[in-house]
Amino acid sequence: MSDEQRPASWAAVTEGSPFTLANLPLGVADVDGQASALIAVGDQAVVLRSCADAGLLDSVGITYGAYSQDSLNDLLAHGPAAITALRSRIRALLTDESLGLTDIDALRAQATLTLRRTVDIGDYVDFYSSLHHATNLGRLFRPDAEPLLPNWRRLPVSYHGRAGTVVVSGHPIVRPKGLTAAGEQLAYRPTESLDIELELGAVIGVGSELGVPIPAADAASHVAGLVLLNDWSARDIQAFEYQPLGPHLGKSFATTVSPWLVTLDALAPFRTSPPEQDPRPDDYLLGAADWAFDIELDVLLQSHAMRAAGLAAVSVSRTNFADMYWTVAQQLAHLTANGASTRTGDLLGSGTVSGPTRGSEGSLIELTRRGAEPLRLPTGEQRAFLEDGDTVILRGVCRRPDGSVALGFGDCVGTVLPAKEVG
Amino acid sequence: MSDEQRPASWAAVTEGSPFTLANLPLGVADVDGQASALIAVGDQAVVLRSCADAGLLDSVGITYGAYSQDSLNDLLAHGPAAITALRSRIRALLTDESLGLTDIDALRAQATLTLRRTVDIGDYVDFYSSLHHATNLGRLFRPDAEPLLPNWRRLPVSYHGRAGTVVVSGHPIVRPKGLTAAGEQLAYRPTESLDIELELGAVIGVGSELGVPIPAADAASHVAGLVLLNDWSARDIQAFEYQPLGPHLGKSFATTVSPWLVTLDALAPFRTSPPEQDPRPDDYLLGAADWAFDIELDVLLQSHAMRAAGLAAVSVSRTNFADMYWTVAQQLAHLTANGASTRTGDLLGSGTVSGPTRGSEGSLIELTRRGAEPLRLPTGEQRAFLEDGDTVILRGVCRRPDGSVALGFGDCVGTVLPAKEVG
């Protein structure tokens, strides 16, 4: 990024903060008892409702009401040009004191806010688009067969997840119960193989009509941006239930998303070409070449004992989103290829992001070879799957050529609570 | 039903009408340019907003705004006692002219209204709960193996469908395109095996909290009522895509629901015991004994040529909902057994309703043995799967002991349009 694009702000942005002036991601929280859209900068958040009240956003062209909803849906429905105009205006307000933002009470410390889920989710579709993840799982579950099924390289395989149980970062994750076959004895019991899946989620800003597929080349008109996404999974519940209609209760108990939506325009400098696809996909999946994203991803784990001992979370996986086989544009083209409509707030999970090397897998079942090679924590504890009290943190950053942080997603956090006795 | 429960109305209800005074199902339409909740009686609809405007519903205890939404969600969230009170009040207004309903302009001919989808759907889960359907499909797809997979008798197998493409009766169904392997040559083309699935859908009125399972015995506090549901399916698209994550684009292009919600209290006289379940399900699936429903179901088909020749739709399948192996209460208990929350407007599809005998199957793939035994229409046309111009009508009625219609669901209709050239 050139120096021209890196203006200084009167609002402090510490080096290494994910929320740079190049980022300015969108969020939502209640501020002074009323919902407001927000834009993050450094450790602070700009309260967009207050800016609009003061007339500072009149030039942006977004309706006033969109700034005071308990989700970003109305705002995102204005489309990518409006989002770009809004972020440009906020950048101007943050760099030129004379424009009046310092005259009003429109900044809050992020630490004082309880951030909401950014969007009311319409449909949540979860894909399976990492070649390495699909290959790893195929080897674990079908050791004597080809790891990839015949459809995998032909279309981005996916299923619908439960939109109503998508929660924002920080929401506790209660260990789910379900019918599992541990020790041959089928019973309804707490899962013994609670796992994570490191993903990114694409949020739809502008929906599409029933009967009208979205060409891959038009995806940028519809995708508002990306969030981090943890697709919590109970492997034992999933293993018993999933044939022939796919996963359901092994995943529907919770999905965590990060609270700041990093917009597509902010991510533009980090778009790159995806891996070569062989065989060549059908025409309807072509036409969008640069839809891979160079985003470094990190999974951190902190056990209860580590927390008690004052030990920080440790990284258990490092990978990069650029390596995904199927792109967000292809996922959206496929999802609508049968004429299915989309709505503002629809969420497309990428599928677990796993790299080709040991230590770059995005789930514990892969990292530990289904528990055969457990992780070792600084306390000496071992982890095949998650234990009660474990905290999982997903992080994602885009870096400048010099290695410094250009922008990031912030933390996507969840802590595992014990299964409930009743119910 | 006793004569006491069959009062006469000053509003005409023709013998055989599904919309009796015992039924009084709920719907939604724009009336005089503003959305209103409705109750059907005979060929007419009571405009609830007009009744509320005139003060005729003051005793019911439902907030005024709930009568003027473009969905029933706010109304259904008031809970089953409020729904019962509302229907009782409307029944009184329809039988006692002195109560004032005849003094206001609150009835409309149904034929003049464009009915909306009754609810804004949160999550749509489709089950697979007919033993006969699951057995039939298992035999067709895995002829050399046990037709039922090991989980089928242990839990109500299900998956999430696409909520955003659920349309109300009458909405045209555009033949979807998708990747299919017809003639060995994989290509993106219009489906050649467009099918129906005859189902009922349970609509959630009162939702539940994340982390708190709904006991089967409490299902009546949450289920507002039932609608007919046609889970349109493209078998060739589904066959190529569905492993390992289940069906998606083979079904996500459209699901049709009937426009009148038949409430749970109206259905009370037709509740019965489901078939015996062997093996005994886990405790969390027990506690709700009478959750089968004696509802006679009919699938009718009319081709374009039949319509042109003035020939009425013919019945191609007759079955009964009482024969379903897993009940709505068990579906809801299972769906939430891992702590998943539910929301007002969530939709639970029963899965295809197929009976044990020839001619009682709820899908064409079963009725025609995957096309090997095509249906013959009055025009001499044959049908393995649906052709462009075909109209499918689902009907459901509950009968009195004397065989007369006690109540019914009305028609759930869709006509197949050709695939679109563009896209």
pLDDT in tens, A371-394: 999 999 999 999 999 999 999 999
- Chain A residue closest in CA terms to B250: A338
* Under 8 Å between Cβ of A318 and A296: yes
Q: Under 8 Å CB-to-CB from B308, ≥6 apart: which residues?
A: none
Amino acid letter for position B51? C
The first and second tokens of residue B393, run together, are 């009508």
Subunit contact B335:A249, Cβ cutoff 8 A: yes
pLDDT higher than 90, residue B15: no
Subunit contact A282:B179, Cβ cutoff 8 A: yes
Using alpha carbons, list the distances in angstroms from residue B109 to A283, B48, B106, B207, B407.
49, 14, 10, 33, 19
Distance from CA of B381 to the nearest CA of A (A): 27
pLDDT higher than 80, residue B215: yes
Cross-strand bridge partners of residue A203: A225, A347
With contacts defined as CB-CB under 8 Å, which chain B residues touch A194?
Answer: none
Cross-strand bridge partners of residue B263: B225
| Mean pLDDT of the region B338-348 | 98
Subunit contact A178:B346, Cβ cutoff 8 A: no
Proportion of chain B above pLDDT 90, given as a percent: 92
**DSSP secondary structure letter of residue B135:** H
Distance from CA of A137 to the nearest CA of B (A): 11
DSSP string, A347-407: EEE------SSTT--SSHHHHTTTTTS-EE-TTS-EESS--TT-EEEEEEEEE-TTS-EEE
- Chain B residue closest in CA terms to A190: B338
The sign of the torsion formed by the CA atoms of B278, B332, B78, B87 equals: negative
What's residue A7's pLDDT?
A: 66
Using alpha carbons, list the distances in angstroms from residue B258 to B45, B80, B139.
15, 20, 31
Subunit contact B151:A243, Cβ cutoff 8 A: yes
With contacts defined as CB-CB under 8 Å, which chain B residues touch A120?
Answer: none
Q: What is the pLDDT of residues A69-120, one digit of tens each?
A: 999 999 999 999 999 999 999 999 999 999 999 999 999 999 999 999 999 9
* Under 8 Å between Cβ of A291 and A329: yes
Subunit contact B241:A167, Cβ cutoff 8 A: no
What's residue A3's pLDDT?
A: 41
Geometric angle at alpha carbon B3, from B1 and B4, rounded to 5°: 100
Query: What are the phi and psi torsion angles at A365 (to 5°)?
Result: -60, -30
**Gap between the Cα atoms of B393 and B395, Å rounded:** 7
Q: Under 8 Å CB-to-CB from B257, ≥6 apart: which residues?
A: B117, B118, B166, B167, B168, B169, B201, B227, B228, B229, B230, B347, B412
The sign of the torsion formed by the CA atoms of B86, B87, B89, B93 equals: positive
- Hey, of B177, B214, B232, B245, which one would you mutate to test binding to chain A, going by the most A CBs within 10 A of its CB? B245
- Chain B residue closest in CA terms to A187: B282
* Under 8 Å between Cβ of B130 and B351: yes
Residue that has been written with the tokens 């506690």 in this structure: B287
Q: Under 8 Å CB-to-CB from A25, ≥6 apart: which residues?
A: A19, A39, A40, A225, A260, A261, A262, A263, A266, A407, A409, A410
Q: What is the pLDDT of residues A317-375, one digit of tens each?
A: 999 999 999 999 999 999 999 999 999 999 999 999 999 999 999 999 999 999 999 99
Comparing CA positions, the residue from B236, B386, B382, B215 lying closest to residue B299 is B386
- B312 vs A: CB within 8 A: no
pLDDT higher than 80, residue A17: yes
- Chain A residue closest in CA terms to B247: A245
* Cβ neighbours around A64 below 10 Å, total: 11
- A254 vs B: CB within 8 A: yes
Distance from CA of B260 to the nearest CA of A (A): 23
Q: Under 8 Å CB-to-CB from A378, ≥6 apart: which residues?
A: A306, A311, A314
Comparing CA positions, the residue from B37, B99, B27, B29 lying closest to residue B62 is B37
| Mean pLDDT of the region A184-213 | 96
- A148 vs B: CB within 8 A: no
Note if A133 is an active site residue.
yes
Cross-strand bridge partners of residue B226: B202, B262
**Gap between the Cα atoms of B51 and B54, Å rounded:** 5
pTM for the full model? 0.97
With contacts defined as CB-CB under 8 Å, which chain A residues touch B177?
Answer: 213, 337-339
pLDDT higher than 80, residue B218: yes
Residue that has been written with the tokens 């995904």 in this structure: A324
Amino acid letter for position A77? A
- Chain B residue closest in CA terms to A283: B188
Subunit contact B246:A241, Cβ cutoff 8 A: no
With contacts defined as CB-CB under 8 Å, which chain A residues touch B212?
Answer: 420, 423
Query: Which residues of B, range 176-205, sit inside 8 Å of A by Cβ?
Result: 176-179, 186-188
**Gap between the Cα atoms of B53 and B100, Å rounded:** 12
What's residue A132's pLDDT?
A: 97
Of the candidate ranges A183-197, A255-269, B217-231, the one whose mean pLDDT is the lowest:
A183-197
**Mean pLDDT of chain A, nearest integer:** 95
Q: Which comes out higher in pLDDT, residue A125 or B184? A: A125
